Amino acid sequence: MRRVYLDNNATTPVLPAVLEAMQAYFAEHFGNASSIHHHGQETRAAVERARQSVAALLGCRASEVVFTSGGTEGDNLAIFGLVRSGPVQRGTARAGDHVISSTIEHHAVLSSCKQLESSGCEVTYVPVDGQGRVDPDDVRRALRPNTRLITIMMANNETGVLQPVEEIGKVAAQADVYFHTDAVQVAGKVPIDVKRLGCDLLSISGHKMNAPQGVGALYVRKGTILRPMLYGGSHERSRRAGTENVPGIVALGRAAELAREVFAHGDLERMAGLRDRMEQTILDEVDATGVNGAGSLRVPNTSSIYFDGIEGEALVIALDLKGLAVSTGAACSSGAIEPSHVLTAMGLSPERARGSLRFSLGKQNTAEDVEFALALVPSTVARLRELSPIYNKQAVSR
Ligand code: PLP
């Protein structure tokens, strides 16, 4: 059976050139990068080359790149590294610290903020408008004398909506508050320049940009003192203890190089063209549907579409049975399907949020893949709606 994967915001396949680059670092060049002998020197050089490549992708110095195990660790290190710093009681936030975040963050940030709240720190979650955008003026208004950190994502994982991070960076700089942005869904899709963004910390994840799962990086602006989360050796300039994941780091470095080539060759325009064609055809062929965040700037690969009268999970399963992999933003909690916090924050009703699907393209997707999706989605939605008494009742009154 033909299978088409349009869930690249969940994870991406490792590109052949990335796999080739990392393969030599399992058995051939296996040294511990901290060893002083030949084997260690070889892997140390590979780690430092990868650091240069990641730095070139982000527009920073190599010494400002800290390798992590992925986006979740980068987000946690940024948040707990700063907010817990200072004269803290062991394991708790310094009472009185204030953090500004948003209602649409990934759980890697939201759950970290909840954890801070449970240990005495106050967090303000700024809202988004109907198009999924944070207003930088809301961030400015949320500032307090004790605000320690602003953590607001660069692009949302469900809608792909790009946030006005450059403006937020200016707000942070004027107030002299640290600014972290989760750029996990941006790296490899839109060029990043940390200097232009004005952020102090920025996290990326390998497996969202064609490197493997379990590796990532955090940009830490020179001079930012982070309290580490892991204690051990003095790896990563004492910011992240633990023997380096050399094959993963080499892969991330290679993926960063390839991402820059993609920007140079205009391949992202091709991806945006495929995404736009897919969206427009679905909107033309299916009633009672729309694109979440369509009025905002978005990363070129992501499309979040609501289908009224449909349970998103049922549609995901029906499409999967026919070979198409997409996803919902819903989370399953204690057996019940919770609507996506991102879509409800944008003002969607719980029903409309539950009836939303995320299509996310990757570098490997072709025009034929989009045709395959278009051959399935309208007919599958129509079949599920035929079975939906609620939709049919509403249709009579439409
Ligand atoms: N931040 C965002 C916006 C994400 O989309 C994800 C993964 O879905 C993460 C953080 C977590 O990254 P990782 O899976 O590398 O821990």
Judgement on whether residues 66 and 204 belong to the same structural domain of the protein: yes
Residues 316 and 248 both lie in one domain: no
Same domain, 291 and 175: no
Q: Is residue 72 domain-shared with residue 195, that is, in the same domain?
A: yes
Domain of residue 239 covers 16-262
In a shared domain, residues 193 and 87: yes
Q: Of the candidates 262, 286, 315, which is a domain's last residue?
A: 262
Would you say the CB of residue 216 lies under 6 angstroms from ligand 1? Answer: yes
Nearest CA to ligand 1 atom 5: 157
Based on the fold, state whether residues 79 and 226 are members of the same structural domain. Answer: yes
Tens-level pLDDT at each residue, the chain (398 residues)? 999 999 999 999 999 999 999 999 999 999 999 999 999 999 999 999 999 999 999 999 999 999 999 999 999 999 999 996 445 555 666 667 999 999 999 999 999 999 999 888 999 999 999 999 999 999 999 999 999 999 999 999 999 999 999 999 999 999 999 999 999 999 999 999 999 999 999 999 999 999 999 999 999 999 999 999 999 999 999 999 999 999 999 999 999 999 999 888 888 999 999 999 999 999 999 999 999 999 999 999 999 999 999 999 999 999 999 999 999 976 665 667 789 999 999 999 999 999 999 999 999 999 999 999 999 999 999 999 998 877 776 765 66
> In this structure, which residue's CA is closest to atom 13 in ligand 1?
71
In a shared domain, residues 177 and 49: yes
Residues 146 and 288 in one domain: no
Look at the pTM and tell me if it is higher than 0.75.
yes
Which atom of ligand 1 is found nearest the CA of 105?
3
**Looking at residue 264, what is its pLDDT?**
87
159 and 287 part of one domain: no
182 lines ligand 1 (CB under 6 A): yes
Of the CA atoms within 13 Å of residue 345, those in its CB half-sphere come to 20
**Ligand 1 mean position, distance from CA 205 (Å):** 7
Contact 75, 108 (CB under 8 A): yes
Note if 121 is an active site residue. Answer: no
Ligand 1 site, residue 206, Cβ cutoff 6 A: no
Do 208 and 301 fall into the same domain?
Answer: no
Is the CB–ligand 1 distance for residue 187 below 6 Å? no
CATH number of the domain residue 296 falls in? 3.90.1150.10
Q: How far apart are CA 339 and CA 227, in angstroms?
A: 35
Q: Which of 113, 121, 199, 332 is catalytic?
A: 332
Domain count for the chain: 2
Do residues 171 and 313 share a domain? no
Q: Say yes or no: CB of residue 159 within 6 Å of ligand 1.
A: no
Predicted pLDDT of residue 86 = 45
Q: What are phi and psi of 122, to 5 degrees?
A: -100, 140
Q: What are the CA-CA distances from residue 193 to residues 56, 57, 58, 96, 254 (Å)?
A: 9, 8, 5, 32, 18
From CA 73, how far away is CA 55, in angstroms rounded?
Answer: 18
Nearest-atom index, ligand 1, CA of 213: 15
State whether 69 and 24 are in the same domain. Answer: yes
